[in-house]
Amino acid sequence: MKYPSKVKIVDVGPRDGLQNEKAPVPAAVKIELVHRLQDAGLTEIEVTSFVSPKWVPQMADAAEVMAGIRRKPGVRYSVLTPNMKGFEAALLSRPDEIVVFAAASEAFSQRNINCSIAESIERFRPVAEAARAHKIHVRGAISCAVGCPYEGEIAPERVAMVARLLKEIGVQHIGVADTIGVGTPVKVERAMEAALQHYSVDDISGHFHDTYGQALGNTLASLQMGIWQYDTSSAGLGGCPYAKGATGNVATEDVVYMLQGMGIETGIDLDKLIDAGKFISDFLERKPNSRASTALLNKRLG
């Protein structure tokens, strides 16, 4: 079996990880998390979302968080922008990458961004154009790529359709997202194959929530297909407020532990990463939702 020799991880903890937290997390804590992640060697960090504060109150401090980050050369800072209003606000914060987020499920599109898939593409079109005109990289997420909390199982053809639409409007990279973590390896392979009809293997990433404990298996299945980019979340935080029952993304710590054990390079210092996950978990007054972190923290105690 041939695996990629190198994997790029986007830590989405500050955004996906925290967006679902009910109690407000101060901007200073979010900024500190970003700093700790970049000190641990992360070169891609999804920082925040420029979305409606009525829809996602936790992300209302997006501009403040972006302004407070001490930028490290070589690190790409990304933000979510669902429409031009979000993009225009984000632009002032100088993101390196913006993310538009579509869904392979009509029902989820309606619940999450209040419009149909087709309408969402029309909203993203000027966003992608403006971003590219400003030389900002454009990523697209395809939510519910294997299953939807409202529609159930999603056919791979839906993923191919959304990938095609995103490609047509100039989205440069897509993330195949198992929003509610229901996917299993063969289903995820099919979703990836559908994405590969329109994007090259170098322009696709996996975004796996771990609700059913399948995310590492799904990551391994994707690695075997040559997919080498993954969104993961520090301490396994995360969830979408509009995806009922969804829990966190796969923990960055667990993925890095697995990749290190496989001899795959990530450039990440696992010890520092564990400290970053512990920092945010301590703030939230819970234990990191990562088996590797738990095991390694116990080992430190001797």
Taking the C-alpha atoms of residue 198 and residue 209, their distance in angstroms, rounded to an integer, is 23
Residue among 83 and 281 whose Cβ is closer to ligand HMG = 83
Selected binder of Mg ion within 4, 14, 16, 290 (CB under 5 A): 16
Task: Write the CB contacts of 155 (distance below 8 Å, at least 6 apart in sequence).
Answer: none
- Alpha-carbon distance 111 to 101, whole Å? 13
Q: Rule CB under 6 A: is residue 127 a binding residue for ligand HMG?
A: no
Residue with smallest beta-carbon separation from ligand HMG = 86
Q: Is 14 in the site for ligand HMG (CB under 6 A)?
A: no
Give the residue, chosen from 101, 199, 228, 279, that forms a contact with ligand HMG under the rule CB under 6 A: 101
Contact 249, 238 (CB under 8 A): yes
Name the binder of 56 from Mg ion, ligand HMG, none, CB < 5-8 A by kind: ligand HMG
Q: Per this entry, what is the length of the chain?
A: 302
User: What sign for the dihedral angle of Cα 109, 114, 118, 120?
Assistant: negative
| Active-site annotation holder among 115, 144, 148, 240 | 240
Q: Report the residue from 35, 76, 85, 132 that binds ligand HMG according to the rule CB under 6 A.
A: 85
Task: Please report which helix (H) or strand (E) contains residue 176, including its range.
Answer: strand 173-178
Distance CA 201, CA 199 (A): 7
Active site residue 148: no
Q: How many CB atoms lie within 10 A of CB 138?
A: 23
Out of 49, 78, 219, 252, the only residue in the binding site for ligand HMG (CB under 6 A) is: 49
Report the residue from 143, 205, 229, 290 that binds ligand HMG according to the rule CB under 6 A: 143
Q: Is 120 in the site for ligand HMG (CB under 6 A)?
A: no
Closest CB 49 distance from ligand HMG, rounded Å: 5
The four Cα atoms 176, 181, 185, 188 give a dihedral, to 10 degrees, of: -20
Instruction: Provide the token pair at 266.
Output: 């990530």
Catalytic residues: 240
Binding site for ligand HMG (CB under 6 A): 16, 19, 49-52, 55-56, 80, 82-83, 85-86, 101, 112-114, 141, 143, 177, 179, 207, 209, 240, 242
Binding site for Mg ion (CB under 5 A): 16
